[in-house]
Amino acid sequence: MQIKIFSIPALGGEALNEEMNSFLRSKKVLQVEGQLAQESGGAYWSFCIKYVDSLAVAEREKPRVDYRTVLDEAAFARFSKLREIRKGIAGAENLPAYAIFSDEELAELAKMKTITEGSMRTVKGIGDKKMEKYARHFLTTQSDEKG
């Protein structure tokens, strides 16, 4: 985390204001604290900005995957259904959806015509704890296979 401080006159500080806005657009901002201060020369805004460089963050983040283009039509339909199941579990347990299964894990499951405990265990990222807590919700039933 880094810190940058901007002091902008309350009157006539448009150029400095634009400089700060440009800075904010180029960084991943964590927090902004602002305070109006007065001195004999006039009033000014002082902003303390806590941030991380956007480039450093972008290098660590994985690119977003459009699963509609990665999966065939039938697999994408299964993927969408699995996401709905995951969303329901996440809501019920008050957890973020990715804590149940990641999109990548769901995509691997969606590629399977039938999801069994054995086939789930072959997916990277799905271990014993996830199997124990969530597998029953995602296993393919006989009615799923016919429909």
For residue 41, name the pLDDT band (cuts at 50, 70, 90): confident
13 — pLDDT class (breaks 50, 70, 90): confident
Distance CA 9, CA 2 (A): 23
Which range has the worst mean pLDDT, 26-35, 54-63, 67-76, 83-92? Answer: 54-63
Asked if 10 and 51 sit in the same domain, the reply is yes
Total domains present in the chain = 2
Tens of pLDDT, residue by residue over 113-125, are: 999 999 999 999 9
pLDDT of residue 145 exceeding 90: no
Query: Is 49 found in the same domain as 25?
Result: yes
Residue 1: predicted pLDDT: 80
- Asked if 25 and 77 sit in the same domain, the reply is no
Q: At which of 24, 41, 60 does a domain end?
A: 60
Same domain, 73 and 138: yes
SS3 sequence of the chain: CEEEEEEEECCCCHHHHHHHHHHHHHEEEEEEEEEEEEECCEEEEEEEEEEEEHHHHHHHCCCCCCHHHHCCHHHHHHHHHHHHHHHHHHHHHCCCHHHHCCHHHHHHHHCCCCCCHHHHCCCCCCCHHHHHHHHHHHCCCHHHHHC
Q: Are residues 74 and 124 in the same domain?
A: yes
Query: Tokens 């956007």 appear where?
Result: 54
Q: Are residues 74 and 140 both part of a single domain?
A: yes
User: What pLDDT does 144 receive?
Assistant: 57
* Last residue of one domain, picked from the residues 28, 60, 92: 60
| Length of the chain measured in residues | 147
Q: Which long-range contacts (CB under 8 A, 24 or more apart) does 16-24 make?
A: 20/47, 20/49, 23/49, 24/49
28 & 75 share domain: no
Statement to judge: residues 86 and 142 lie in one domain = yes
Q: Give the per-residue pLDDT at 40.
A: 85
**Residue ranges making up the domain that contains 36:** 2-60
Mean pLDDT throughout 28-34?
90
Tell me the CA end-to-end span of the chain in Å, nearest whole number.
51
Q: Based on the domain organization, do 131 and 83 belong to the same domain?
A: yes
Its pTM stands at 0.56
Residues 8 and 52 in one domain: yes
- pLDDT tens by residue, 45-55: 999 999 887 55
Q: Is the pLDDT of residue 143 over 90?
A: no
Do residues 88 and 104 both lie within one domain?
Answer: yes
pLDDT tens, 83-109? Answer: 999 999 999 999 899 899 999 999 999
Are 104 and 41 found together in one domain? no
